[in-house]
Structure 1
């Protein structure tokens, strides 16, 4: 099994290759931001997952070069393929723009849930006309409302450039600031509180787990039956496997109700510090503000230069 350091290094290298060979200044700026992002601010703090690092670097690249984050106006050739895996199994592959791919994925997953089958089986039934498609697909986009030229975060896609975010035409908005402090009397997590928790966490909050938050349970740190509220300050995203470990008593967590940071305590006396990595985490919110300001300055300078010409 590859080490965490090797996996993270591979994630960094593969993502930075998008910039090409003639990007020395951009690489220097990105390198400084990555160093800040990966520098621990607490003892026993776990490194961000490879997924979180890729999302971060993609966002940094988008800030440096808009062309790398916008969708092509023409469809690439040969984006649909069928290839054999074995004598009895084959695979279908298709490529779409990010918005279309995410919407199709939601259709497939909702159909799979409704029929209690796998996503692959749901896709087959949809194509063969044996199942009706999901009627109400929602694409959640996290974007600051008080920052001009703010980038946006789309689940499963990561950070996207402002101009691309504008293409995700939102038909409704949700007050995430209100959801941050809301409390429900129900055990089940309401949609608005769940959206905040997913946006804050980014991934499963077990140190090193990269399972995306929207695929995780909303776990009550203090059990609901013991008086623990259904509120963001008492909820954390945990995948089924790590939720079971916590439920079995093999690990205990303490959460900072303001930042969402978690200290994990283990049976052998070891402990680890885990920071939230989602678009609503404190570090991400501060970064979004600085990115919005940088984009605004660059566009203002480009406008002034165009007027001189």
Structure 2
């Protein structure tokens, strides 16, 4: 008999899980006790309220603001709120991550009920287990899920805007998966003063005599710069900040692969980038124009090479399925990680997607040292981690090629229609309200009545002396 789906953090047989649940329940009770003091309708100054709470609790204004904001966010997600009240699956730390991610949505969009219903729907899908002992999604997966939901509502409900590079929008074509070597196109980018693009550079002196550079560019340019800097850091074996400085002062030739993933069998399917997530329609179209190679991920999924290292198509397929390091709790993006053989290559394990996962170097070494082993479901991409104490946990693939994300993409076009219908109904309702306001009888004008205003003349001032 198969075990029912469950979360590993809610394991009733684990002392740590039971203690965690009790701590989380007490944490919510504690903050609900504090919360009435933070009445948003109170006329008392927020800083003063925080000072009073700090006096009695020792909690800083930042922590108070973060956790009260998280509880406010939860109140707008009724299904998730009911789940937490029943199971205490998420603590306030995870709830603050959700609140912060939702806060990145445009202010006007945060006022739309449609967005909150969509967020509640997608978060419930994320926090509904499908395997026994399933690992809780990591922060990157939570952030990506919320960002994808916001993008699906924002992109589909928003009016079309001009291309930031000033190019006409071409007719849509079957989408790319993935594109290769956009670095060669960097030389052909429009100049920085092109009127069609909006970029800004801000330089601020810091107290320690350093300079802070802040650069804002359109999303398409930002994606390319991100990929170039990531490759530059890997080539120079340094971090991205140092790589950017070195590349500006002492440029070297780089070969960069920028990956885009898009379903070819779903109308209006979104375009995913490994570090940016869902791209805007304008950025997606701009980058699609640069595509030099289109890969069939279905073919790559079944492809095999006798070599130890994955071919480029196989690697793209595994990255698109895994999206991050598959070690439990690791959020390192998969684009520059190691491809690990579940069955070692020297033991006869094939270099094929159903025998490979992406692991960061640190966790790859832990697996090589047999500190943990895993099984890989060849269909779903789920990884079953087995630990030395005899327990196990399941990590679900989170990339656009994973079954769960594929199902989400199927609903993307459905949400497009719902978003447009919602926007149309809202516009019609607002127009009807204006019509009703115009039809309401206006009060008759009052007859003019002169009013006599009496006042005392100011006393005369003494004449100035000669």
After TM superposition, the score normalised by the length of structure 1 is 0.86
Q: 1:279 aligns with which of 388, 400, 407?
A: 400
Q: Which residue does 1:131 correspond to in 2?
A: 251
Q: What is the alpha-carbon distance in structure 2 between the residues aligned to residue 69 and residue 186 of structure 1?
A: 47
Deviates more, 1:91-100 or 1:258-267: 91-100
Unpaired runs of at least 5, structure 2: 1-23, 25-89, 165-195, 428-466
Taking the aligned partners of 1:5 and 1:68, their CA distance within structure 2 comes to 38
Secondary structure of the 2:408 match is helix
- 1:237 and 2:358 are equivalent in the alignment: yes
Q: How big is the shift at 1:81?
A: 3.0
Q: Match of 2:242, SS?
A: helix
Distance in 2, matches of 1:39 and 1:286, equals: 14
Asked whether the equivalents of residues 59 and 160 of structure 1 are also in contact (C-alpha less than 8 Å), the reply is no
Question: What does residue 133 of structure 2 align with?
Answer: 44
Contact persistence 1:44–1:271 (CA under 8 A): yes
Q: Which residue of 1 aligns with 2:116?
A: 27
1:103 equivalenced with 2:224 (yes/no):
yes
Partner of 1:260: 381
* Per-residue deviation, 1:76: 6.1
The 3 A distance-change label for structure 1 pair 118 and 291 is closer
User: Which residue number corresponds to residue 213 of structure 1?
Assistant: 334
Structure 1 residues 78 and 178, CA gap change in structure 2 (3 angstroms): closer
Distance in 1 (CA, whole Å) between partners of 2:161 and 2:400 is 20
Bigger shift: residues 43-52 or 256-265: 43-52
SS at match of 1:198: helix
Do the aligned partners of 1:203 and 1:209 also contact (CA within 8 Å) in 2?
A: yes
Q: Which has the larger radius of gyration?
A: 2
Give the Å deviation of 1:88: 6.1
Higher relative contact order (CA closer than 8 Å, sequence separation 6+): 1
Q: What is residue 81 of structure 1 aligned with on the other side? A: 203
1:197 is the counterpart of 2:318:
yes
**What is the aligned partner in structure 1 of residue 416 from structure 2?**
295
Q: CA deviation at 1:133?
A: 4.2
SS at match of 1:142: coil
Rounded to whole Å, the distance in 2 between the matches of 1:78 and 1:258 is 46
Look up the SS of the partner of 2:405 in the other structure. helix
Deviation readout 1:38-85 (Å, 9 max, x if unpaired):
11112211121111111111111122222499798576685433443x
Instruction: Give the match for residue 59 of structure 1.
Output: 148
What is the TM-score with the length of structure 2 in the denominator? 0.59
The question of 1:140 aligning with 2:259 is answered yes
Equivalent residue for 2:435? none
Where does residue 15 of structure 1 map in the other structure?
101
CA displacement at 1:299 relative to structure 2 = 5.6
- Structure with greater strand share of residues: 1
Match of 1:228 among 327, 349, 369: 349
Between the aligned partners of 1:105 and 1:133, the Cα distance in structure 2 is 16
Cα distance, 1:123 vs structure 2: 2.1
Give the length in aligned residue pairs: 302
Residue equivalent to 1:151: 270
CA contact (8 A) 1:69 1:164 kept: no
Q: Is the 8 A contact 2:320 2:401 kept in 1?
A: yes
Distance in structure 2 (CA, Å) of the matches to 1:31 and 1:212:
26
Distance 1:219 1:175 in 2: 22
RMSD: 3.1
- 2: CA distance between counterparts of 1:33 and 1:186? 40
Match of 2:75 in 1: none
Specify whether residues 239 and 117 from structure 1 end up closer, same or farther in structure 2 by C-alpha distance, changes over 3 A only: closer
